DNA sequence: CAAAGCATGTAAATAGTTACATGATTTA
DNA sequence: TAAATCATGTAACTATTTACATGCTTTG
């Protein structure tokens, strides 16, 4: 069907957007996701390939076969209809929730539901996680965002800095809470 | 089976934990979730009821029938095995990722993928969303956390303050980015 | 040339959401 | 007593993850 969806899902928007900024194959999209969207919109290979197939069937992407020997390979580009759909999705202004799903915060929430559970250990795990995340941002995501900036895309850099500052905020919060918990015990 | 799972899922831990801190029925758990976990671990009624059934079948919860007339109703309490499972889950120390899933940040990321898309409008939607969230925290979640504190549970309050400070951070970030975007245009 | 890892995907299972159904209780 | 809302769930659908399969390409 060549008319396409009017309302893209967020995952469809992410995949279409990735093709729009230059990722051609499922694999390239997967690589780009790992270096950019990953921390606020994770996508695994099965989702990417399934979405590519749907978007092509709807006429929002045009696929080309680049099979070599028995190894299948397919590359994509955005059609005019795809660009319209992407624009509509980008500009949509419904109230979208911030979906945070954090097992660590969940454990901390219940840490005093049972006697003898060490809340500080939960907070410490949270802090270490954000420190690891910061390493990853500095090693992978910020450099990739600089690359995007060189290609004329500025927003990936802003979003990457959001990630960095978010984790810095979490580290600071953990330090404050650990100090408080220490006082209560002391 | 009365042996129970060794490894609770996070959703199972959330439901079991809610019973442990005093929510007795599926409905009460749902209410409590809306006033506390919602912003970092959302759970709808179908998940809650399905999980209660599983936890009872595994012997981690003991259910009691309180049907009135034709209206079914079931209340629960944590068994000794349930308490052990909850403790194990609470103290588990695997590297759990921060799963952020934010359609707004996703749109902002791609805002310069197409010409003529207004990035400031995306940032503004983000800021308004966090302002609404802050209203909700002050009206619902912080008071509920104060209630929990009165019952001897301190961590829900800490976690609620995490939510407040997180959204304050986001509001500040949005203001900074909007200022930057304004400069670039001006 | 064997092993490691790069690249491309699929099938099956699990998790989560949406839409609905239904009865009890309170309120206008 | 009609309407609202409280309370309890189920069925069907959608999204996501896990585990696997397979063939190419590079490197020791």
- State, as a whole number of angstroms, the distance between the CA of A105 and the C1' of C21: 35
- A77 three-class SS: strand
pLDDT per residue over A135-185, tens digit each?
999 999 999 999 999 989 999 999 999 999 999 999 999 999 999 988 766
- DSSP-derived letter for residue A38 is G
Of how many residues is chain B composed? 186
State how far the Cα of A44 lies from the Cα of A11, in Å rounded to an integer: 11
Q: Is-contact B8 B85, C-beta < 8 A?
A: yes
C-alpha distances in Å from residue B82, one per residue of A43, B13, B73, B92 = 34, 10, 21, 15
**Cross-chain Cβ contact A159/B110 below 8 Å:** no
Q: What is the per-residue pLDDT for A1?
A: 46
Please give, rounded to a whole number of angstroms, the shortest distance from the CA of A65 to a CA of chain B: 25
Q: What is the per-residue pLDDT for B6?
A: 67
**Cross-chain Cβ contact A87/B180 below 8 Å:** no
- DSSP-derived letter for residue A41 is S
Q: What is the per-residue pLDDT for A161?
A: 97
pLDDT per residue over B43-90, tens digit each?
999 999 999 999 999 999 999 988 777 777 899 999 999 999 999 999
Those residues with Cβ within 8 angstroms of residue B41's Cβ, 6 or more apart along the chain or in another chain: A101, A102, A103, A105, A106, B10, B11, B14, B33
Q: What is the per-residue pLDDT for B184?
A: 66
C-alpha A134: how far from its chain's center?
15
Q: What is the per-residue pLDDT for B94?
A: 80
Nearest CB among A113, A129, A155 relative to B108 is that of: A155
Of how many residues is chain A composed? 186
- DSSP-derived letter for residue A178 is H
Nearest CB among B95, B98, B152 relative to A102 is that of: B98
**Phi, psi for A139 (deg, rounded to 5):** -80, -35
pLDDT per residue over A39-97, tens digit each?
999 999 999 999 999 999 999 999 998 877 777 789 999 999 999 999 999 999 887 77
pLDDT along chain B (186 residues), means of 10: 70 96 93 93 94 94 84 89 95 84 96 95 95 92 93 94 97 97 70
State how far the Cα of A5 lies from the Cα of A59, in Å rounded to an integer: 9
Question: Could you tell me the pTM of the whole model?
Answer: 0.93
Mean pLDDT, rounded, of chain A: 91
State how far the Cα of B89 lies from the Cα of A107, in Å rounded to an integer: 8
User: Confidence class of residue A5 from pLDDT cuts 50, 70 and 90?
Assistant: low
Please give, rounded to a whole number of angstroms, the shortest distance from the CA of B70 to a CA of chain A: 34
Q: What is the per-residue pLDDT for A3?
A: 56
Q: What is the per-residue pLDDT for A155?
A: 96
The torsion defined by the Cα of A120, A126, A131 and A136, in degrees rounded to 10, comes to 160
Nearest-CA neighbor of B4 among B112, B87, B118, B117? Answer: B87
Please give, rounded to a whole number of angstroms, the shortest distance from the CA of A71 to a CA of chain B: 31
Q: Label residue B71 exposed, middle or buried (CB < 10 Å: 0-12, 13-18, 19+).
A: exposed
Q: What is the per-residue pLDDT for A98?
A: 84
Mutate to test the interface with B, among A79, A158, A159, A180 (most CBs of B within 10 A): A158
């Amino acid at each position: 069907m060549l008319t396409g969806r009017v309302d893209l899902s967020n995952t469809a928007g992410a995949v279409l957007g990735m093709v729009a900024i230059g990722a051609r194959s499922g694999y390239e999209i997967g690589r780009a996701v790992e270096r950019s969207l990953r921390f606020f919109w994770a996508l695994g290979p099965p989702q990417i390939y399934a979405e590519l197939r749907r978007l092509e069937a709807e006429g929002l992407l045009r696929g080309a076969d680049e099979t070599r020997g028995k190894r299948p390979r397919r590359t994509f580009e955005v059609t005019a209809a795809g660009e319209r759909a992407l624009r509509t999705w980008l500009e949509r202004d419904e109230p979208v929730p911030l979906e945070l799903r954090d097992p660590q915060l969940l454990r901390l929430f219940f840490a005093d539901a049972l006697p003898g559970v060490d809340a500080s250990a939960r907070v410490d795990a949270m802090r270490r996680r954000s420190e690891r995340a910061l390493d990853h941002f500095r090693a992978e995501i910020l450099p990739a965002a600089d690359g995007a900036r060189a290609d004329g895309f500025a927003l990936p850099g802003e979003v990457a800095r959001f990630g960095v500052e978010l984790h810095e905020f979490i580290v600071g919060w953990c330090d404050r809470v650990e100090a408080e918990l220490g006082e209560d015990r002391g």
